[in-house]
Structure 1
Amino acid sequence: MEIFYFSYQIEFEADVPEDIRVVVGIDFGTTYSSFAYAHVQTCEVITNDDWPGRKGPLKINTVLQYDENFNNVIAWGSQALVGEPQRRRKKTAANSSKPIELFKLHLGNIPEEQKVKLPPNCPAEKAITDYLREMEEVERRWPGIDFFNHVRFVVTVPAEFTESTKTIMRKCVYDAGLIKSLGTQNLKFTTEPEAAALYCIKSLKEQDLTTGATYLVVDCGGGTVDLTVRKLLDDNQIGETTERSGDFCGGTYVDKEFLKYLESKVGEYAMKMLRDKHYGQLHYMIHQFCERVKIPFTGESSDFKTYELDIEKNCPALKQYVSGQAREELSDEEEWIIELDFSTVKRFFDPVVERILRLIEAQLDKSRYCSVMFVVGGFSESKYLQKRIKQKFKSCRVVIPPHPMAAIVRGAVEYGLNADAIKTRVLKWTYGVQTYPKFQRGDPPSRKTSDGRIYKFHLMAKRGLEVEVNQKFSTTLYPVYPDQKSILFKFFYTTKFTASYCDEPEMSVLGEFEVDLPDTHLGLDRPVSLHLCFGAMEIIAVARNETNGKIYHTTFKLEF
């Protein structure tokens, strides 16, 4: 029996005949989220555009509003950003808290100062679970469908997410009530760039790409930018040719530059009070900036008209917190109007765009024969970003496919309908198991244990290796002592290409796997073969006692 291994002592279900009738793709984004679905019989992918209180957009805000104690959600999506939620109210306290947003960033490996501070009684895992639970109510729209047994969910994650992050996401999906057990195989994961690559397959023929051709997918979202180079294989399958990459430099970072500039005009205290006391007005001001400045910005001065930010009109609460010289200048000379001219707005974009260009350049350096670049994601609709990419990479055709904002969620559905479309992936980490051999000459004396041994990292699969889906990597290990009745295998992974010890920097615990070892009369001659299966978004492990042929499995505890 093969077992998936995750935290929370999950024992995964064995493969059983499936009766999947609907596939649902969920793009849980930093600033906006969406879902799409398809009936297996027709395979027609439909992107949801019907949200509580709002119809038309393909995505909805990744925002929650709780009651004052954060016990119950009283609004979500765009309605969490307006004054009085128009949706049905739950039985909650009369007062409500400030909306919670950008909580997905807490799962990423970014500096703490870049993460929005969350209330102590509302950690990121709770917010994610509650948001998915609200989204679930919209998804339950198929009469006659057993939600737990007939629906397969595919959730997208950024390329830079670790194994532990996917474990957190699985637990959140379960707690939200979308799946019946932690171990169900009706939940799959795929990376955002991989989903985008699947979506782009339909556009490959238009670009005259044939089998063997490579193409780059750049997914520019709100919080993250993810990149992957793919190769077109036979039968519309795709392989990954270079290691996925990504960074936190999506479209919301342009908004942050705008807020930094505003803070320089009104003062740090004024902006802090605006965030704390009048969040709705702050968001409205950001929305106006995006709609009137950020989205239409082309990078051409001739197309630009200076935008006058009227504080009294767009954010009247801000005035009361502005003091000192800033108040004198704004009230007397500027009449509470802040002008955003072309050069100022360009400065909001350029740090973010430059980071994206460097990411693209690094990927193309790894794959010099890439002739087509697909740019997708919400931020990909920026005309200025498109222009800079085309200027920088003139030798590569830059393609913006239809509905780029929905590329990831539609690709997730395609993956759920046909996971076999992914032929190969490139390992993003180096994986191995801890061993306990005898101390040898040349080993560091400080690492020698009292019984003359040393803990080491035994490599099983190396970062950067292209592997086929479900390809196995194996090793055989033996008990350390002749009378031991079990053996505990500890798995680790690292960003490095190789390692010697399990406590080195950048090393993370993957989990523990314990196997029984009867037949102590055989002493040390009791081999156990270990197998790690990569390529699938979730690692599969197996342990076989070669003495009696039994395959052992146990619960898996992933530390993070």
Structure 2
Amino acid sequence: MSPRIPKLYSPQKIPTVLQYDENFQQVILWGFDAVASEPIKRKKKVKSTQSRPIELFKLHLGMIPEEQKPALPSNITPERAITDYLREMGIIKEEVERRWPGIDFFKNVRLIVTIPAAEAAAVHCIKKLKEHGLKAGVDCGGGTIDLTVRKLLENNQLGEDTERSGDFCGATYVDKEFLKFLEDRVGKDAIKMLREKHYSQLSYMVQQFCDRVKTRFTGKESEFRKYNLDIEKTCPALKQYVSGSVRDELSDEEDWEIDIDFETVKSFFDPVINKILRLISVQLSKSMCSVMFLVGGFSESKYLQQRIKQNFPECKVAVPPHPMAAIARGAVEYGLDMDAIKSRVLKWTYGVAVYPIFQEGDPLSRKTSNGRIQKFRLMAKRGVQVEINQQFSTRQYPVEPNQTMILFRFYYTPRKSAQYCDESGMNKLGEFRVDLPDTHLGINRPVLLTLCFGSMEIIAIAKNETNGNVYQTAFELDL
């Protein structure tokens, strides 16, 4: 069944929201139906034993701080939530395959999930880039902002000029500022209880704010209409949790209504937009830009557009049609033409674990029983521009003369240099085994180890230079 689309949402993008039954055994609502419609006037009957909806679980895919990831029920993993969500997309799969016969739907879903948002947006904007000249783009999404500077090359290919950057300052953070304001007015405990006991009403209240205030806010006071939040009508359950003098004031003097004026709404936007402006400044300090494309849902904000134009008059600021869908469309377009991206700037430093002989000056606590030490051997450095399928190699040898195999372990880190594989920020990329016969040659059995950075994955290749045998495996490319 196709998800019902309320008027307050753009039909370009289905929200990543799921609602399970009380025991989290099956999905009962998803997408638009899972976000709260007006509590009292729900068109779809739902059992009272439903669980609280879970949202933004896709953020668990990224390398982001744990405190920024949305809390999930103990029995729902991010992998299960994503799998359940994709399962509910069956009708979309049918529509995609009807419109584009022969397309690999799930391959492109994977691209939508894994390709960098700013990169997908750049692919979508490639025709516009050609019209305007050189460089692109800011993805102003719901939870995060992603920035990249790219150059349009020959054959409509894109090259990345600077390392991508981003932060947690998307549109949902304006909603969080709105909720902070409400906490100041009605009390933190009241909002906490509302969130725990009546999540659908809290969600509906935020939706109403978005529809009537956030999406219409231009930053011009002459165009602003004061917003009257009627608690009894919009969020009646909140009343029971408000206490003390705040309750007396709201019930007696204000009749459970809160007026929100221009300066207050502006204060919701400004902390978020100021972060975005700082991120753009950093990118432009590294590479000049003639055209700036804004994509993602937040890019539709007239106030955000206005502030960016004011702060960066040297750039032409453009918002392509359907900016909310630009990332998904760009990912699909990239799936149809994997040659669109010519180069990337590495976001991580990559390397392999090695075991050299312990030397004077090495930490004594790291010395192994066989007189060696495990270290990180750099292979590809963060910030380096690499072309698609470019390779980085190092030559390795067995540690022991009678060794019959080597288990290569690969790691990546945000640091540009590292010594050890257990340093803070170090992540394991993967591992694979290479057989080493010919033990009569002792340690003189070189293995040429290579990392190849492809379109969507890293290929690790090991060539036994003694007998010519080649081994390889693929790792997910965390972009």
Same fold per TM (> 0.5)? yes
Closer, same or farther in 2 for the Cα pair 1:72/1:206, shift >3 Å?
Answer: same
Aligned equivalents of 2:63, 2:436: Cα separation in 1: 39
- Correspondence for 1:347: 267
Closer, same or farther in 2 for the Cα pair 1:522/1:85, shift >3 Å?
Answer: farther
Give SS of 1:472's match: strand
**TM-aligned CA deviation for residue 481 of structure 1:** 0.6
**TM-aligned CA deviation for residue 294 of structure 1:** 0.5
Aligned partner letter, 2:201: Q
Q: 2:127 aligns with which of 197, 202, 223?
A: 202
**TM-aligned CA deviation for residue 335 of structure 1:** 1.1
Aligned partner letter, 1:232: L
Give SS of 1:493's match: strand
Aligned partner letter, 1:199: H
- Correspondence for 1:78: 32
Q: 1:336 aligns with which of 241, 244, 256?
A: 256
Q: 1:57 aligns with which of 11, 22, 37?
A: 11
Q: 2:362 aligns with which of 428, 438, 443?
A: 443
Q: 1:531 aligns with which of 442, 450, 453?
A: 450
- Correspondence for 2:436: 517
**TM-aligned CA deviation for residue 381 of structure 1:** 0.4
Instruction: Work out the percentage of aligned pairs sharing the same amino acid.
Output: 64
**TM-aligned CA deviation for residue 298 of structure 1:** 1.1
1:155 aligns with 2:110: yes
Closer, same or farther in 2 for the Cα pair 1:139/1:375, shift >3 Å?
Answer: same
Give SS of 2:274's match: helix
**TM-aligned CA deviation for residue 472 of structure 1:** 1.0
* Contact 1:156 1:192 (8 Å CA) reproduced: no
Closer, same or farther in 2 for the Cα pair 1:404/1:146, shift >3 Å?
Answer: closer
Give SS of 1:64's match: strand
Aligned partner letter, 1:263: E
* Contact 1:478 1:525 (8 Å CA) reproduced: yes
Aligned partner letter, 2:461: V
Runs (5+) with no aligned partner, structure 1: 1-49, 158-168, 170-188
Q: 2:387 aligns with which of 458, 468, 471?
A: 468
Aligned equivalents of 1:144, 1:286: Cα separation in 2: 35
- Correspondence for 1:43: none
**TM-aligned CA deviation for residue 137 of structure 1:** 3.5
Q: 1:270 aligns with which of 177, 187, 190?
A: 190
1:402 aligns with 2:321: yes
**TM-aligned CA deviation for residue 404 of structure 1:** 1.1
Q: 1:421 aligns with which of 321, 340, 353?
A: 340
Give SS of 1:139's match: helix
Q: 1:378 aligns with which of 297, 308, 319?
A: 297
Aligned partner letter, 2:218: T
1:282 aligns with 2:282: no
Give SS of 1:230's match: strand
- Correspondence for 2:118: 193
Normalization by structure 2: what TM-score? 0.92
- Correspondence for 2:213: 293
Aligned equivalents of 2:238, 2:315: Cα separation in 1: 47
**TM-aligned CA deviation for residue 445 of structure 1:** 3.3
Report 1 or 2 for greater relative contact order, CA contacts < 8 Å, sequence distance ≥ 6: 1
Between 104-113 and 339-348, report the one with greater CA deviation. Answer: 104-113
Aligned partner letter, 2:166: G
* Contact 2:391 2:453 (8 Å CA) reproduced: yes
Aligned partner letter, 1:465: V
Q: 2:56 aligns with which of 91, 102, 127?
A: 102
- Correspondence for 2:164: 244
Aligned equivalents of 2:107, 2:73: Cα separation in 1: 33
* Contact 2:458 2:476 (8 Å CA) reproduced: no
Structure number having the greater helix percentage: 2
Aligned equivalents of 2:99, 2:123: Cα separation in 1: 29
- Correspondence for 1:491: 410
Aligned equivalents of 2:275, 2:92: Cα separation in 1: 36
Alignment of 1:503-514 (within 5 A): 503-514=422-433
Give SS of 1:408's match: helix
Aligned partner letter, 1:332: D
Aligned partner letter, 1:438: I
What's the CA shift string for 1:326-362, capped at 9, x where partnerless?
1011011111111111111111011100111111111
Closer, same or farther in 2 for the Cα pair 1:201/1:485, shift >3 Å?
Answer: same
Closer, same or farther in 2 for the Cα pair 1:101/1:391, shift >3 Å?
Answer: same
Normalization by structure 1: what TM-score? 0.79
- Correspondence for 1:327: 247
Q: 1:116 aligns with which of 65, 70, 78?
A: 70
**TM-aligned CA deviation for residue 73 of structure 1:** 0.5
Between 537-546 and 447-456, report the one with greater CA deviation. Answer: 447-456
Give SS of 1:197's match: helix
Give SS of 1:319's match: helix
* Contact 1:254 1:352 (8 Å CA) reproduced: yes
* Contact 2:461 2:473 (8 Å CA) reproduced: no
* Contact 1:433 1:458 (8 Å CA) reproduced: yes
Aligned partner letter, 1:507: M
**TM-aligned CA deviation for residue 151 of structure 1:** 6.6
Closer, same or farther in 2 for the Cα pair 1:112/1:542, shift >3 Å?
Answer: closer
Q: CA RMSD in A?
A: 2.5
Equivalent pairs, count: 470
1:477 aligns with 2:396: yes
Aligned partner letter, 1:541: A
* Contact 1:53 1:86 (8 Å CA) reproduced: no
**TM-aligned CA deviation for residue 148 of structure 1:** 9.6
- Correspondence for 1:11: none
- Correspondence for 2:174: 254
Between 216-225 and 77-86, report the one with greater CA deviation. Answer: 77-86
Aligned equivalents of 1:431, 1:272: Cα separation in 2: 43
**TM-aligned CA deviation for residue 154 of structure 1:** 4.6
